[in-house]
């Protein structure tokens, strides 16, 4: 088994209102088969043995799907491997002697809770504004009554694959959440089932997003950092629908 000797520089912050700092740790003897988070587990076990408080970091499924984990690794959201969440990153991508800087997501909308843990609930607020199709259980029609072309279903799926980790926001120099918001809007707006609320949804979600997050200047960092490879094209869909929504919703408002 190959092992690595690493130097970590980790952001430590005791609480939301404390000042934080980068703290250096030597971590020898890391197996290359470990995941990045298992490497942090190892560090934490050693810290506990020394009587030091372990590093707080978010994680849960460790299968790249729950979206809990998310670390800024050497300035890259989720680290160096494209299309990979932090938990799926393995130490064989690093070399012995590497210095690895680990920071929390940094964005105005994501306040630090402790160490590497941030509060991402602003993302939930966006979905609450309109990221749904209104269906009462019991009211749904037979599932096969509306055929959905495979290409449309596939495109909707590609957008729906978002895990809500917030890497796009963290990677964006403006702290914008356009990719996250657009992924949900595109998922629902592409499907026939999502048409009835298409424009009200778009307007509500975009405007909720603007309350919390920065503006998009199309850097494309979000797409590059996305562990699910959500495409920038979704932002085009969102912007188009937003413009249409502004006209349409105004016209409809006049009728009410």
Partner 1 sequence: MIHLDSAIPDGPIEEKWDQHKFEMKLVAPHNRRRFEVIVVGTGLAGAAAAATLGELGYKVKAFTFHDSPRRAHSIAAQGGINAAKNYRGDGDSVYRLFYDTVKGGDFRAREANVYRLAQLSVDIIDQCVALGVPFAREYGGLLDTRSFGGAQVSRTFYARGQTGQQLLLGAYSALCRQIEAGTVQIFPRSEMLELVVKDGRAAGIVVRNLHTGQITSHSAHAVMLCTGGYGNVFYLSTNAKASNATAIWRAHRKGAAFANPCFTQIHPTCIPASDEFQSKLTLMSESLRNDGRIWVPMEFDDPRPPNQIPENERDYYLERRYPAFGNLVPRDVASRAAKLEVDKGRGVGPLKNGVYLDFKTGIERLGRHGIEERYGNLFEMYERITGEDPYQVPMRIYPAVHYTMGGLWVDYNLMSTIPGLFVAGEANFSDHGANRLGASALMQGLADGYFVLPYTVPNYLAGMLGQPAVPTDDPVFRAAEAEVADRTKKYLSIGGTRSVDDLHRELGKILWDNCGMARSKEGLEKAISEIAALRVEFDRDLRVLGSDDTLNQSLEKAGRVDDFFELAGLLCRDALHREESCGGHFRVEHQSEDGEAQRNDDHFAYAAAWEYAGPGAEPVLNKEPLTFDHVHLAQRSYK
Site for partner 1 in 141-180 (CB under 8 A): 141-144, 146-150, 153-154, 156-157, 160-161, 163-164
**Going residue by residue from 190 to 229, which x/- string records binding to partner 1, judged by CB under 8 A?**
-x-xx-----------------------------------
**Going residue by residue from 1 to 20, which x/- string records binding to partner 1, judged by CB under 8 A?**
x------------xx-----
- Looking at the Cβ atoms of 41 and 223, the one nearer to partner 1 is 41
Q: How far is the CB of 129 from partner 1 (least distance, A)?
A: 7
How far apart are alpha carbons 148 and 73 in whole angstroms?
40
Task: Note whether 23 binds partner 1 by CB under 8 A.
Answer: no
- Looking at the Cβ atoms of 67 and 214, the one nearer to partner 1 is 67
How would you write 22-43 as a 3-class SS string? EEEEEEEEEECCCEHHHHHHHH
- Looking at the Cβ atoms of 90 and 179, the one nearer to partner 1 is 90
Residues whose CB falls within 8 Å of the CB of residue 94, separated by 6 or more in sequence, listed in order: 4, 6, 100
How would you write 127-163 as a 3-class SS string? HHHHCCCCCCCCCCCCHHHCCCCHHHHHHHHHHHCCC
How far apart are alpha carbons 35 and 29 in whole angstroms?
14
How far apart are alpha carbons 232 and 8 in whole angstroms?
33
Interacting positions 39-78 with partner 1 (CB under 8 A) = 41-42, 44-45, 48-49, 51-54, 56, 58-68
User: Which residue(s) pair with 9 in the sheet?
Assistant: 24, 101
Q: How far is the CB of 114 from partner 1 (least distance, A)?
A: 4
Task: Note whether 132 binds partner 1 by CB under 8 A.
Answer: yes
Which of 111, 116, 114 has its CA nearest to residue 100?
116
Task: Note whether 22 binds partner 1 by CB under 8 A.
Answer: no
Strand order in the sheet with 72-73: 21-31, 3-12, 99-103, 72-73, 76-77
Task: Note whether 120 binds partner 1 by CB under 8 A.
Answer: yes
Task: Note whether 253 binds partner 1 by CB under 8 A.
Answer: no
Q: How far is the CB of 218 from partner 1 (least distance, A)?
A: 26
């Amino acid at each position: 088994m190959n092992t690595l000797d690493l130097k970590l520089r980790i952001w430590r912050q005791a609480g939301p209102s404390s000042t934080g700092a980068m703290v250096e740790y030597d971590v020898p003897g890391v197996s290359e088969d470990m995941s990045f988070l298992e490497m942090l587990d190892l560090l934490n076990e050693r810290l506990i043995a020394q009587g030091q408080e372990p590093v707080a970091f978010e994680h849960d499924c460790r299968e790249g799907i729950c979206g809990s984990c998310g670390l800024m690794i050497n300035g890259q959201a989720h680290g160096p491997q494209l299309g990979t969440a932090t938990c799926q990153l393995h130490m064989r991508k690093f070399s012995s002697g590497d210095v690895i800087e680990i920071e929390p997501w940094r964005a105005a909308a994501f306040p630090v809770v402790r160490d590497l843990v941030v509060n991402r609930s602003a993302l939930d607020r966006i979905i609450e504004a309109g990221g749904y199709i209104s269906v009462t259980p019991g009211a749904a029609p037979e599932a096969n009554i509306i055929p959905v072309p495979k290409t449309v279903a596939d495109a909707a799926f590609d957008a729906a694959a978002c895990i809500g980790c917030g890497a796009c926001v963290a990677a964006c120099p403006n702290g914008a959440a356009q990719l996250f918001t657009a992924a949900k809007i595109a998922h629902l707006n592409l499907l026939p089932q999502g048409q009835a609320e298409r424009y009200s949804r778009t307007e509500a979600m975009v405007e909720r997003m603007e309350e919390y997050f920065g503006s998009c200047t199309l850097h494309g960092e979000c797409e590059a950092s996305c562990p699910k490879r959500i495409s920038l094209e979704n932002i085009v869909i969102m912007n188009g629908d937003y413009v249409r929504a502004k006209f349409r919703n105004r016209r409809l408002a006049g009728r009410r």
